[in-house]
Structure 1
Amino acid sequence: MRKLIAGMKVSLDGKYEGPESVADWVEAWSDDYGLMAEVDACVLGAGMYGGYERYWTSVQTAPDTPAWISGAPPTPAERQWADFIRRTPHYVLSATLDHADWPDTAFIRGVADLAALKQQAGKSIYLVGGGRTTAGLIDAGVVDELRLIVYPVIAGDGKALFATGGRRQGLDLRRAEPLGDGRVRLAYGIGG
């Protein structure tokens, strides 16, 4: 069975977005989790899909132009990730959406569809997010691993990754690695 690996960039106080609905402490949206060799599909929630599609399409079509979300040109690692996801199937978890401009995008309607996707042959699946989708799918028991990049900032007001009031969940630390600028990369196993 394929693993579902969630990856999130969070502040030290567990926020995935600040009060302006942006994680302004994140300088790049590249694959800092080391997932490219491990995954062959991406899943994201409907709330995140529109911005994700717009951001990565702009990186793919205008790789030297400042990105709307950061105001800076895409980094080399972001351009590499954009090339990877151009050829990677995407699945959007939504009960209502039924159209995507991004090629090779399909819709899954619920946890049962996601569980069925995990049963198909292939590499692991990257759960891109967003935050509510990630927390909800961890609560539903379908996420196998959680990878976090923790930034050395206390965001204060904003959206906390685990503010859903879900069930208590024990995690198994698999890796902890300091990165540049005080960031830490963590990998946790979820469940048995």
Structure 2
Amino acid sequence: MRKIIVLSFITLDGVMQAPGGPEEDTSSSFKYGGWVSPYFDEVADKVMEKQLKPADLLLGRKTFEIFEGYWPQHSANWPGINEVTKYVVSGTRETSDWENTIFLRNLTDIEKLKNGSGTDIQVHGSGELIQLLLKNDLVDELWLKIHPITLGNGKKLFAKG
């Protein structure tokens, strides 16, 4: 059985939306994209290096499309990103030119993946997918990088309960 590990940047008030840049996810008129950049330093870089060990990726379609548009050309910053298997949960996409990409359709496909053999599986971004995984008790570990900022609104890692 494989471990599913969720890695997420998160604010003190639980926002996970668009940590990387202003254009990353502007849905619901979100205007605070790129909030993680002021907090990156040598320590953060070393933590990220340890966390970005070779592992297969499980991504929602929206996050995959962000990754697909960026990482193939910047793979020196994430060694192995092109070689690992990228599993993408999508009801609309079926193909990608990015090597080693496999599309999954539903929860049953995710459960089969988890119950198979292989490396750990990392989930990055993918807020809706994370909610599905948490609801169905499929997350083994949460690696949260909590940043000392509150944004007041935005997509949250933990749904209201």
User: Which interval holds the TM-score relative to the shorter structure?
Assistant: 0.7 to 0.9
TM-score (norm 1): 0.67
Does the 8 Å CA contact 2:2/2:118 hold for their aligned counterparts? Answer: yes
Q: Does 1:99 align with 2:95?
A: yes
Aligned with 1:7: secondary structure? Answer: strand
Cα distance per residue 1:21-80 (max 9 Å; x no partner): 73x12226977283344x5310100121111111212323xx6xxxxxxxxxxxxxxx1x
Aligned with 2:81: secondary structure? Answer: helix
**Which structure: greater strand fraction?**
1
In structure 2, do the counterparts of structure 1 residues 21 and 98 end up closer, same or farther at CA, with 3 Å as the change threshold?
farther
Instruction: Kindly provide the amino acid, as one letter, of the partner of residue 46 in structure 1.
Output: R
Does the 8 Å CA contact 1:40/1:125 hold for their aligned counterparts? Answer: yes
Runs of 4+ in 1 over 4 A off after TM superposition: 28-31
Counterparts of 1:122 and 1:159 in 2: how far apart (Å)? 31
Aligned with 1:15: secondary structure? Answer: coil
Cα distance per residue 1:160-183 (max 9 Å; x no partner): 1223x46xxxxxxxxxxxxxxxxx
Q: Does 1:25 align with 2:63?
A: no
- Unaligned 5+ runs, structure 2: 19-29
Give the equivalent residue in structure 1 for 2:21: none
Once the two structures are superposed, the pairs formed by residues 113-128 of structure 1 within 5 Å of their partners are 113-128=109-124
% same residue: 32
- Unaligned 5+ runs, structure 1: 64-78, 167-192
Does the 8 Å CA contact 1:43/1:129 hold for their aligned counterparts? Answer: no
In structure 2, do the counterparts of structure 1 residues 20 and 87 end up closer, same or farther at CA, with 3 Å as the change threshold?
same
Give the equivalent residue in structure 2 for 1:112: 108
In structure 2, do the counterparts of structure 1 residues 158 and 14 end up closer, same or farther at CA, with 3 Å as the change threshold?
same
- Greater Cα radius of gyration, structure 1 or 2: 1
Give the equivalent residue in structure 2 for 1:76: none
Does the 8 Å CA contact 2:87/2:103 hold for their aligned counterparts? Answer: yes
**Which structure: greater helix fraction?**
2
Q: Which has the higher contact order (CA 8 A, sep 6+)?
A: 2
Give the equivalent residue in structure 1 for 2:26: none
Counterparts of 1:33 and 1:135 in 2: how far apart (Å)? 26
Does the 8 Å CA contact 1:16/1:158 hold for their aligned counterparts? Answer: yes
Q: Does 1:86 align with 2:82?
A: yes
What is the root-mean-square deviation in Å for CA atoms of aligned residues?
Answer: 2.3
Give the equivalent residue in structure 2 for 1:10: 10
TM-score (norm 2): 0.79
Aligned residues: 144
Aligned with 2:73: secondary structure? Answer: helix
